[in-house]
Structure 1
Amino acid sequence: MKDIGDSDWIIEVVVENLKIKKQVFEEVEKYRKKGTLITSNTSGIPIHFMLEGRSDDFARYFCGTHFFNPPRYLKLLEIIPTPKTDPEVTDFLMRYGAHYLGKTTVLAKDTPAFIANRVGIYSIMKVVETMQKLDLNVDEVDKLTGPVIGRPKSATFRTSDVVGLDTLVKVANGLYEGLPQDEQRDIFKLPAEVNALVERKWLGDKTGQGFYKKTKGAKGQTEILTLDLKTMEYGEKKKASFATLEQTKPIENLKERMPVLLSGKDKAGEFYRHSFYGLFQYVSNRIPEIADELYKIDDALRTGFGWQLGPFEVWDSLGVEKTVAKMEEMGYSPNPWVREMLQGGNTTFYKTEGGRKLYYDIPSKSYKGIPGTEDFILLDTLRSTQKLWGNSDATVFDLGDGILNLEFHSKMNTMGAGVIEGINRAISMAEESYRGLVIANEGANFSAGANLGMVFMYAIEQEFDEIDFMVRQFQQTMMRARYSSIPVVVAPHGMTLGGGCELTMHADQIVAAAETYIGLVEVGVGLLPGGGGTKEMTLRVSDKLESGDVEYNALQNAFMNIATAKVATSAYEAMDMNILRKKDRIVVNKDLQIASAKAAALALAEAGYVQPIQRTNIKVQGKGGMALFLAGIHGMRVGNYISDHDMKIAMKIANVMCGGDLSYPQEVSEQYLLDLEREAFVSLCGERKTLERIQSIIQGGKPLRN
C-alpha cells in the first residue's frame, strides 16, 4: 500500500462491500499524497457513503469512475462526483477518459446503479415480465432481443449466463431495496423462476449451466441445451420463428427496421411494443433523477450495454408523437415534459444542424450541441447536406477544408464493384477540385474484405479471364490510392481483413482506431492476397533491410503472417507486423478518428504533397530465398501442421515474395510483383479445394480446412 504514494490516480476496485471499501480508503489515506486523484469503480454503491471519516483533501479529489467490464471493449466510463468533488477534477476525468482512454465519458448522478445499470437492468426485467405475459420461451426471447434490434448476439439470457446470474440478481435486489420512490420498483422483484435458478446454483457459465447448458453429444460434439422455465429442465434449442422478423430481413438500416418490428401483428410485435413502450416511459421519468440531459442515457446504454441505438434514438426512429399516442393506448404514459416538447413544435429528441448532432434540452425547451462532440466528425450528421456522390455501396462526402470522405456501406463493408467504383470516383473528384481524400466509415467494421461472391461465380464457370480482369482492376485501384496526385488517408477500425487490409496498406497515411483487427486472411479461403497485399509486404521487407541484416529472417516473418492468415489483435500489434508504419497514427477514441484522419490529409496537403512514382527498386531473394521457404513448407507438411492444399498456397506465396524464377537476389518493380500475384491468385481459383473453402465461407461463414 505504501507504493501508492508515487501515484497520481488511485482506483479502488475491491469487492462490492461498503465496509471493506471504507477499510481500504482508510489505508489509502495514510499513504496517498495530497492532491492525488482517488476514485471508486463501484457499480452501484452510493459514492457519498464512502466518504465517511475521510479528510477534506480526500473528499475534494474523490469521485466514482465506473468502468464497464471488459473495459477494453465496452467504452462506457461513468463519472460520478459527490457534492464535495472539486469540479476541476470532474472536468479533468471527463476529458482524460475521452481523449486518452478512448472512453465515452458520461457524467452521472450519485443514484443507485447510476445510469447504465439502472436503465439496463430495468430493460432486462421488463423483457422477463413481457416474456411471461406472452408465454414466450428462452430461445424466442433471445431471438427477439439480439442483433435484429441492434443489441449484442448474446441478447438477454445468453448475456445473463456470461455475466453471471448472481451479478444480475445482486444489482436487481439492490435497486429494489434502494429505490422506494421508483414508480416501477416492483419490476425489480425477482421472478420465481430466477430465484429457482439461484437456489440450484445454476448461475451461468461460471457454474456450467444457467439459462443454457453446454453438453457433449453422442458423437462427442458440443451441444447447447436451453432451459424450459416451466419445467426447469434442459432440452434441445427450439427454432424461433416470427412473421415480423421475416418481414425485416431485407431491411439493413436499424432505424428503418424498428417501425416495422413494433408494428408487427404477431407475438413479436406485441413483445416489442410492451418492451419498448415500457422502456420509453421509464427513461422519460428518469430525467432529471439520474441525468439532466437525455443524451447521457443514450450514450450510457449504447456504450455500456452495446446497444446500437439508445432509448431516445429508437423513439425518434418510430416518430415521437405517433409513439406517444400508441403508448397511451396500451397504458404507458411518458413524462409530461415529452408532451410539452411536442406542444412546443419540437418533434424529435435529436436533430442535425450545421453538421452537428443536437439534443433537446428540457429546461431551456431548445436544442443544444452535445458537449464534448465539438471535435467529432460524424458522417450521419453530414448525410443530408454534404453528400456529393453515391451508389448503393459507397458515398462521397465533403468534410470541408478541401477534404473529401469516402464511406463504404455494403454488407459487412465488403469490397465489390460498387466500392471499387467509389474509390476511383472519389480519387478523381479529389484530384480535380479538392486537396485530399479520407477513406473512413462508421460501420461496426471497416471492411471484411473483397466480395467473394463474384470470384466464386466466375471460378465455378471457369471464367478465368473475368477473374483476371477483376483482380487486375482491384490492383489498379489500390495502386491508384497509392499514386494519386492527392494525399489519401485510410482510417481502419474493427475488422479490416483481406482487401480492406490491402487498401489500408496502400494509403499515404493510416489513422487507425486502437481496436483494429487487421490482416491478410486470403489463405483461409484458399487464395493469396491478390490486391497488392503480397506485393506490399514484400516491398516493406525490402525497405526495412539494412546493411548486415540477415535478409531471410524479415522475409520469413512477413511470409508467415500471410501464410497463417495472422490477424493483428490491435493497431499496436499491426505496427509490430509491419502493416502499420512508424509514420502512421493510432487513435484510442474512435469518435475522433475521422477528424484525426482529416487533419492528417490536410497536413500532407499543406506540406506540399508530391505525387509519388511507382517503385522499381524492391529487393527480392530469388531461388535462394525460395529454397529456404520450400524446406520450411515441406517440414510443416511432414509434421502434419498443414494440408496439401495449404502447402500449394504457401509455395505460391513464397514464389511471389521471392520474385518468381530469378537466379539470384535482385531488384524488381511493383508491377512485376503484382503480375506474379495476380497469376497465382487466378491459378488458385481453378483449384477444387479453394472453391470448397470459398463456398464454406459464403454459405456458412465458417473457414474450412481441407
Structure 2
Amino acid sequence: MEATLEKPKTQSKTRTIRRVAVLGSGIMGSRIAAHFANVGVDVLLLDIVPKEPNAAEQAKGLTTDSPLVRNRIVNDAFQTMLKASPASLYSPKFASRIKLGNFDDNLKEIATYDWIIEVVVERLDIKRSVYERIEQFRKPGTLITSNTSGIPMHLLTEGRSDDFRRNFCGTHFFNPPRYLRLLEIIPGPDTDPAVVDFLMNYGSLYLGKTTVLCKDTPGFIANRLGIQSLIQTIRVAEDMGLTVEEVDKLTGPVVGRPKSGTFRLSDVVGLDTTVNVAGNLSKMEHDESRASFDLPASVQKLMDNKWLGDKTGQGYYKKTKDATGKTEILALDLKTFEYKLSQKVKFATLEGTKAIDSLRKRFPVLLAGTDKAGEFYRRTFADGFQYATHRIPEISDELYRIDAAITAGFGWQLGLFETWDAIGVRKGVELIEAQGKKPAQWVYDMLDAGIDSFYRVENGKKQYYDIPSKSYKTIPGTEAFTILENLSQNVVWKNADASIYDLGDGILNVEFRSKMNTFGQGVSEALMKGIALAEKDFRGLVVGNDSTDAFSAGANLGMLFMFAVEQEFDEVNLMIAQFQNMIMRLRYSSVPVIVAPHTLTLGGGCEAVLHSDRAVAHAETYMGLVEVGVGLIPAGGGTKEMAARASDLYQSGDPELNILQNIFMNIATAKVSTSAQEARDMNYLRPTDQIVLNRSSLIAEAKQAAIELAENGYTQPKQRTDIKVQGKTGIALFKAGIVAMRMGNYISDHDVKIADKLAYVLCGGDLSSPQLVSEKYLLDLEREAFLSLSGEKKTLERIQSLLTGGKPLRN
C-alpha cells in the first residue's frame, strides 16, 4: 500500500522544525526522540525527577539535589534505547543530537522548541497535569501533540487555552518508531486544519512515514482493525482446535504478513497491552461487533497466570535449554495449557501455493483450500472483510485509509480491501454470507452499480472507490510516487526474472523479480538490455524495485556451485568475467545510471550500488559485501571499488593503512550496515549519494536524480588508472593481524586463506612498494582469487550449507 501524503488544503504560515521536545522517555518516548535525531532534528528528552535516591545512589551519598539522581529516569531510558536491538538510531553518533533533562529543571526550555510531543503514561489525569505545566512555558503557536494510542482528543484538551487547542493534535507513532511506517494523525475538535496539513506532509516527507488521517474514535484505525483481527484469529483457532504453531504458519509470510504470525506477535507486544486495548474497545456501544473484542479463553487464562509473553519469559511460546544447553522453543498447548516442543507445520493448501510467488494470485488458492487451512482462511478473512466495511464512515470516510493504516501499522503487504480485490468482491461477499453475516450496504450498492473492485489503476496511478460519490478517485498524496506495479502498460521489455519500464521523461527502470532479487542470468540479461536501450533511445537508467524483502541478496550461487562441483573452472571464470563486465557497464555507460537500494542489498547488489553514478538509497538499507561468508571474496568489482575508494580517502589526513584496514575488516567480517547512514560511514555510500526517508518516494527520487545528471551535461567517464595500492607493505600488516586472529582461535584455517586472498587483492598484489594501478588490473586479481577459492572443498561446503539450509557454515 502506498504511503499517504495529503496535499495541504489550507494556507498557513511556514513552519520549520529544527528542535523537538519529547516529554516522557519510556520505550516510545526515547525511540521517538531517536527517530527525530535520525532526520537531523535537535531533541530535548525529558522525564520526571525520582522521589528519592535508589540504594546505589544512597551508597554514594547522593541526594535528590544531585543531577545524576534528578536525571536518573531519563538517563536510564536513554541508555536502554542506545543498547536496544534493532537499533533506534541510524548511527550511534546521532545520539549527540539528543539533550536529556527533567520536568522540574528543564521544562522551561520548551519555550525555544518548535514542536512539543507528549509521550507520558496513558492516563488522562497525568496527561492533563503535564499540559497544565506546558502552558506555563510554551510559546504561542508552537505545535503540541500527544502520542496517545486511544484517549480521545477532546478529553485531552479540556480546560486548555484557545491557542493550545488550535495547535494540538494526536500523532500516534507505532513501535518501534524507526521501523514501523505508520503515523496516525488525529485532529481534535478545535485543531487548525493547517496544523493537520502540516503534520501529514511532515510525517511523510521528513519522517518517512505513511501518514494516515484518522477520526477521533476508539483505537483510531490501525489498532481498531488490527486488534479485532488478532482477537478473532485466536478465537477461531481455539474453536477449530488449531495449534499455536499452525496459526502462526497460516498468518505469516504466506499471507504477506510478518514472520511472527499471530501468537508470536502477541508475545512480542505483550499480552497485557493487547488485553488493555481490547478491553477499551469492547465497551463501545455503537460497534455492532464489539463482542469480537471479548477475550478468548486462552487469553484470559494466560492473563490469570501472568504469562504475558517475552516480558515475563513465557506466553504462547517459551524458551528453555535442553540437557546439553541447547536452546529449545516450546509452544503452549491451547487445550492442556502445558508447553511442548514446537512442531513443524504442514497443510496441503500451503503446499499448493509454494510455486505461486504473487501474493494476489495466492489468496484465491488459500481461500479455496479444502483442509483446515482453507476453512481457517475463509472464517478469518470473511470476518475481517465484513468488520472493515461497517467501520466506514465511523472511523474513516475512505477505504484506502483503512488499508494504509493496517499495512503500515502491522506490516501487512496487502490491506483488507486489497486482499478482497485479489479474490474478487463478489466472492468476498459470498464468503461473508456463508458465515451468516453481511457486509455493509454500500458494498451491495457498489456491486449493483456494476463496480466490482475497490481499487483500480488509471494512467499509472492507483485509485480507490469513493463511497459517497460512487466513483473512483486517486489516492491523495500519491501523485508524486512511482509505483512499478501500477505501470504494467509501460513495460518495454521483460523476461522471467526482470522487467524494463519506461518511467517517462527519457528514463528507463530495470526491475528485478527473481527470488530475493538475486543476480542470475535473467537479471544480468535485463541489466545489459536496459543499458543498451537507454544508450540508444533514452537519457538515463534507474535500477530499482518495489520488493519488500530485498533490493538484491546478491549473486545466484546455484549455478556457481554446480560448475565448481563439476570442476568446470573455465565456466566459473566466464561467469565471473561476464558479471564484472555487466557491473562495469553500469559505471561506464554513456547515460547516467542511478541505483536505488533498500532493505537487503548484499554481495552483487552492493556491487551494483558501488558502480552507480549516484545511489538513491532508502534510509533502511542493509548493505554489505558478504561473500566471505560463503568462502569467497567480492569479485563483481566490489573489492576493486573499495580499493579505489580507499585510495580516494588517502587525502583525508588519516593514516593510509588505517583507512585500508577499516575497509578490509568490513569485507573480511561480512559486515552489513544497519542503515543507509551506516553504509555511508562504511564508504559503501558516498557523500554525494542520496538517502530517502519515504520508501514510496524512492523510484521517483531516483528518476529525478537521473534527469538531473542528464540535464547537467553527463559525459561518459573513463576507466581509472590512478588507484593507489599498498603492495607488500599492506599485505604484511594484514598478515600479522590474520595470524594473530588464528592463534586466538577467532578464525579457522579456511578463514585465513580467504583473508589472505582478500588482502592480496585490496593491496594490489605482491608489489614491492605503493603505486598506482588500473581498475582492469584489480578486476583481474579479483577474478583470480575468486576462481581459486571456488575450487576449495570448504568453500563448496559453505555454499552448499547456504543453498540447502539458508545458514552460513563456519568451517
The TM-score, its normalising length taken from structure 1, stands at 0.99
How far apart are residue 665 of structure 1 and its match?
1.1
Using the TM superposition, name which of 197-206 and 631-640 deviates more: 631-640
> Aligned residue pairs: how many?
704
Please state if 1:421 is matched with 2:525.
yes
Q: How does 1:284-323 map to 2 (within 5 A)?
A: 284-323=389-428
Q: Distance in 1 between matches of 2:695 and 2:285?
A: 39
**What SS class does the counterpart of residue 282 from structure 2 fall into?**
helix
Q: How does 1:200-599 map to 2 (within 5 A)?
A: 200-383=305-488, 385-444=489-548, 445-546=550-651, 549-599=654-704
Q: How does 1:663-678 map to 2 (within 5 A)?
A: 663-678=768-783
Using the TM superposition, name which of 497-506 and 137-146 deviates more: 137-146
Q: Distance in 2 between matches of 1:284 and 1:189?
A: 20
Q: Is the 8 A contact 2:231 2:296 kept in 1?
A: no
256, 259, 264: which one aligns with 1:158 = 264
Q: Distance in 2 between matches of 1:548 and 1:289?
A: 63
**What SS class does the counterpart of residue 528 from structure 1 fall into?**
coil
Q: Distance in 2 between matches of 1:697 and 1:329?
A: 45
Q: Distance in 2 between matches of 1:548 and 1:32?
A: 46
Partner residue in 2 for 1:683:
788
The superposition leaves residues 613-657 of structure 1 with CA deviations (integer Å, 9 ceiling, x where unpaired) of: 111111111111111111111111112221111111111001001
Q: Distance in 1 between matches of 2:344 and 2:485?
A: 36
**What SS class does the counterpart of residue 546 from structure 1 fall into?**
helix
How far apart are residue 330 of structure 1 and its match?
2.8
Q: Distance in 2 between matches of 1:547 and 1:643?
A: 35
Please list every run of 5 or more consecutive structure 2 residues that lacks an aligned counterpart in the other structure: 1-106
Q: Distance in 1 between matches of 2:141 and 2:150?
A: 25
173, 176, 183: which one aligns with 2:279 = 173
The superposition leaves residues 479-524 of structure 1 with CA deviations (integer Å, 9 ceiling, x where unpaired) of: 0000011100000000000000001100001000000000101111
**What SS class does the counterpart of residue 398 from structure 1 fall into?**
strand
Q: Is the 8 A contact 2:619 2:691 kept in 1?
A: yes
How far apart are residue 311 of structure 1 and its match?
0.1
Superposition RMSD in Å: 1.0
Partner residue in 2 for 1:620:
725
How far apart are residue 440 of structure 1 and its match?
0.3
How far apart are residue 459 of structure 1 and its match?
1.1
Please state if 1:43 is matched with 2:149.
yes
4+ residue runs over 2 A deviation: 547-550
Q: Distance in 2 between matches of 1:300 and 1:367?
A: 20
Partner residue in 1 for 2:58:
none
How far apart are residue 219 of structure 1 and its match?
1.0
Partner residue in 1 for 2:293:
188
Distance 1:547 1:71, change over 3 A: closer
**What SS class does the counterpart of residue 645 from structure 1 fall into?**
helix
AA in 1 matched with 2:178:
R
Q: Distance in 2 between matches of 1:353 and 1:679?
A: 51
Q: Is the 8 A contact 2:519 2:555 kept in 1?
A: yes
The superposition leaves residues 269-294 of structure 1 with CA deviations (integer Å, 9 ceiling, x where unpaired) of: 11101100111100010001001100
The superposition leaves residues 22-59 of structure 1 with CA deviations (integer Å, 9 ceiling, x where unpaired) of: 11111111111111111110111112111111111110
Q: Is the 8 A contact 2:541 2:591 kept in 1?
A: yes
Q: Distance in 2 between matches of 1:218 and 1:668?
A: 58
**What SS class does the counterpart of residue 623 from structure 2 fall into?**
strand
Q: Distance in 2 between matches of 1:443 and 1:268?
A: 27
**What SS class does the counterpart of residue 446 from structure 1 fall into?**
strand
AA in 2 matched with 1:24:
V
Partner residue in 1 for 2:123:
17
Q: How does 1:96-111 map to 2 (within 5 A)?
A: 96-111=202-217
Q: Distance in 2 between matches of 1:368 and 1:4?
A: 42
Please list every run of 5 or more consecutive structure 1 residues that lacks an aligned counterpart in the other structure: none
Partner residue in 1 for 2:29:
none
**What SS class does the counterpart of residue 772 from structure 2 fall into?**
strand
Partner residue in 1 for 2:228:
122
Partner residue in 2 for 1:59:
165
**What SS class does the counterpart of residue 616 from structure 2 fall into?**
strand
**What SS class does the counterpart of residue 412 from structure 2 fall into?**
coil
How far apart are residue 550 of structure 1 and its match?
2.2
How far apart are residue 82 of structure 1 and its match?
1.2
How far apart are residue 81 of structure 1 and its match?
0.1
**What SS class does the counterpart of residue 203 from structure 2 fall into?**
helix
AA in 1 matched with 2:297:
A
Q: Distance in 2 between matches of 1:143 and 1:568?
A: 30
252, 258, 265: which one aligns with 1:146 = 252
Q: Distance in 2 between matches of 1:409 and 1:638?
A: 44
How far apart are residue 374 of structure 1 and its match?
1.2
Distance 1:480 1:54, change over 3 A: same
Q: Is the 8 A contact 2:594 2:702 kept in 1?
A: yes
The superposition leaves residues 126-145 of structure 1 with CA deviations (integer Å, 9 ceiling, x where unpaired) of: 11121122121211111111
**What SS class does the counterpart of residue 594 from structure 2 fall into?**
strand
AA in 2 matched with 1:440:
G
Q: How does 1:81-92 map to 2 (within 5 A)?
A: 81-92=187-198
Q: Distance in 1 between matches of 2:653 and 2:121?
A: 56
Identity rate, percent: 65
Q: Distance in 2 between matches of 1:133 and 1:404?
A: 52
Partner residue in 1 for 2:94:
none
Q: Distance in 2 between matches of 1:239 and 1:374?
A: 45
Distance 1:543 1:232, change over 3 A: same
Q: Distance in 1 between matches of 2:232 and 2:520?
A: 42
How far apart are residue 114 of structure 1 and its match?
0.2
How far apart are residue 326 of structure 1 and its match?
3.4
Using the TM superposition, name which of 326-335 and 401-410 deviates more: 326-335
Q: Distance in 2 between matches of 1:651 and 1:46?
A: 63
Q: Is the 8 A contact 2:153 2:189 kept in 1?
A: no
How far apart are residue 662 of structure 1 and its match?
1.1
Partner residue in 1 for 2:13:
none
Q: Is the 8 A contact 2:243 2:334 kept in 1?
A: yes
**What SS class does the counterpart of residue 24 from structure 1 fall into?**
helix
Using the TM superposition, name which of 327-336 and 164-173 deviates more: 327-336
AA in 1 matched with 2:572:
I
Q: Distance in 2 between matches of 1:18 and 1:536?
A: 57
AA in 2 matched with 1:587:
V
How far apart are residue 547 of structure 1 and its match?
8.1
Q: Distance in 1 between matches of 2:576 and 2:345?
A: 41
The superposition leaves residues 170-214 of structure 1 with CA deviations (integer Å, 9 ceiling, x where unpaired) of: 00001012x112111111111222111111110000000000010
The superposition leaves residues 301-329 of structure 1 with CA deviations (integer Å, 9 ceiling, x where unpaired) of: 10000001000000000011222133223
The superposition leaves residues 413-449 of structure 1 with CA deviations (integer Å, 9 ceiling, x where unpaired) of: 1111111001000000001100000000000210011
How far apart are residue 403 of structure 1 and its match?
0.2
AA in 2 matched with 1:494:
T
Q: Distance in 2 between matches of 1:639 and 1:214?
A: 32
Using the TM superposition, name which of 104-113 and 121-130 deviates more: 121-130
Q: Distance in 2 between matches of 1:348 and 1:530?
A: 48
**What SS class does the counterpart of residue 716 from structure 2 fall into?**
coil
**What SS class does the counterpart of residue 519 from structure 2 fall into?**
coil
AA in 2 matched with 1:617:
D
How far apart are residue 549 of structure 1 and its match?
4.9
